[in-house]
Amino acid sequence: MTDEENKDHGVLYLGIDLGTSRTSVSASNGVRETVASYVGYPKDVVAQKLLKRDVLFGADAVKHRLSLNFYRPLQHGVLKASSKEDDYEGNLRAARDLIAEAIRMAQPRKDELVYAVIGAPAQAQINNKEAIIDAARETVDSVMLCSEPFAVAYGLDWLDDVLVIDIGAGTVDLCRMHGTMPEDTDQITLTTAGDFVDEEFGKLVAAAHPEAQFTVQMIRGIKERFASVADEMERAVAELPVKGKPTEFDLTDPLREACRKIVPPIVEGLGELVSTFDPEFQSRLKNRVLLAGGGSMIKGLDNAIQQEMHRTLGEGKVVRIEEPIYGGANGALKIAHDMPEEYWEQLK
């Protein structure tokens, strides 16, 4: 921001939830937007002419992925760019562009200061964090990172004796809040998240219907539409090609089974956090469990976790937050709003 001295017309706060499958932004101008965390660049001049853009995001990128160098820059909740494997430069560039797009979606004005808090995965590596900050600094005046599950809890003002379950595509973050900033011992990150469900669902479908042809994208689409862990659920009937011919399959049982596989690791993690907490407050902790993140939209998941807690921990009460998609972004926005001015100034 070169014309900082002209930014005297207001302050725009941004809360960004940078997720493996979805990036959401909430802003103090009332904008709330979300985009799937996919980035694509036209493979050649022909594709560029056809698509008429240099970079595509979200559903657009997925739709045209065959014409694109296609990136999903976050994996298991961290930037793929952190490893030197794969396409390091490409993933880093995609992550930068994705963050810039999230900020652009908030429609900031040129004459306003823009302060952003980005919810980063709870156990993101330091080089991940640096890459995220670098990307954001190109378009905002000052930026901070905070842990995603903490942002969810802060946004709801649940700061005491709370267990937060933030189910994303790459990771499930479990966080124990006890009136102070959670430390490393208060957080557990599992990889049995949305992508894991997709993988398991794919395996089960392939085993049950070896003749069906499908991709991860197709499997993910079916999951997002029908996902449930309930005994009684809407029949997950979907068309998959068999030797080129669209054929209808009932995938209800494989889907339910795949979705249920994430419950035991979550409850096991919760048990670990509960058992290492002050015994006097363990019961209160078990009865204040917040379920957040895109994965929390699996139907019946709150009840399934609650039942599993009753079975293994003796009790438990799980509350699903009202806006799973924007829970992290709203919390990050509240942190940005509450942050004192001098802190922002020092980080410029």
Residues that bind another protein (CB under 8 A): 9-13, 27-31, 52, 107-113, 115, 126, 129-130, 133, 144-146, 154, 157, 159, 179-181, 335, 337-341, 343-344, 346-347
**Closer to another protein at the Cβ: 29 or 252?**
29
Burial 38-63 (b: 16+ CB within 10 A, else e): bbbbbeeeebeeebeeebbbbebbbe
318-320 and 289-292 as β-strands: parallel, antiparallel, unpaired? parallel
Listed in sequence order, the residues at least 6 apart from 10 whose beta carbon sits closer than 8 Å to its beta carbon are 109, 111, 112, 113
- In the bound state with another protein, the residue whose beta carbon lies nearer, of 144 and 266, is 144
Closest to another protein by CB, 113 vs 274, is 113
| 164 phi/psi in degrees, rounded to 5 | -105, 130
Nearer to another protein, 146 or 262 (CB): 146
Q: Residue 108 Cβ, how far from another protein at the closest point, in Å?
A: 5
Distance (Å, rounded) from C-alpha 346 to C-alpha 224? 42
Q: Cβ–Cβ contacts within 10 Å for residue 280, how many?
A: 7
Q: How far is the CB of 154 from another protein (least distance, A)?
A: 7
Asked if 14 and 27 count as a contact pair (C-beta separation under 8 A), the reply is yes
Instruction: Please name the helix (run of DSSP H) or strand (run of DSSP E) that holds residue 32, with its range, or none.
Output: strand 32-36
The CB density around residue 31, as the number of other CB atoms within 10 Å, is 14
Strand partners, 292: 166
| Cross-strand partners of 333 | none
Q: How far is the CB of 299 from another protein (least distance, A)?
A: 34
Of 153 and 318, CB closest to another protein:
153
Residue with smaller CB distance to another protein, 113 or 238: 113
**Least distance (Å) from another protein to the CB of residue 179?**
6
Determine the straight-line distance between the first and last CA of the chain, rounded to whole angstroms: 10
Nearest to 71, CA basis, from 35, 98, 48: 98
Residue 56: CB minimum distance to another protein, A: 15
* Cβ atoms 205, 251 nearer than 8 A: yes
Of the pair 108, 324, the CB lying nearest another protein is at: 108
Q: How far is the CB of 111 from another protein (least distance, A)?
A: 7
Cβ atoms within 10 Å of 187's Cβ, excluding its own? 21
| Closer residue to another protein (CB): 319 or 339 | 339
- The distance of closest approach from Cβ of residue 147 to another protein in the complex, given in angstroms and rounded to an integer, is 9
How far apart are CB 183 and another protein at their closest, in Å? 10
Beta bridge partners of 164: 175, 290
What CA–CA distance (Å, rounded) separates 3 from 171?
Answer: 39
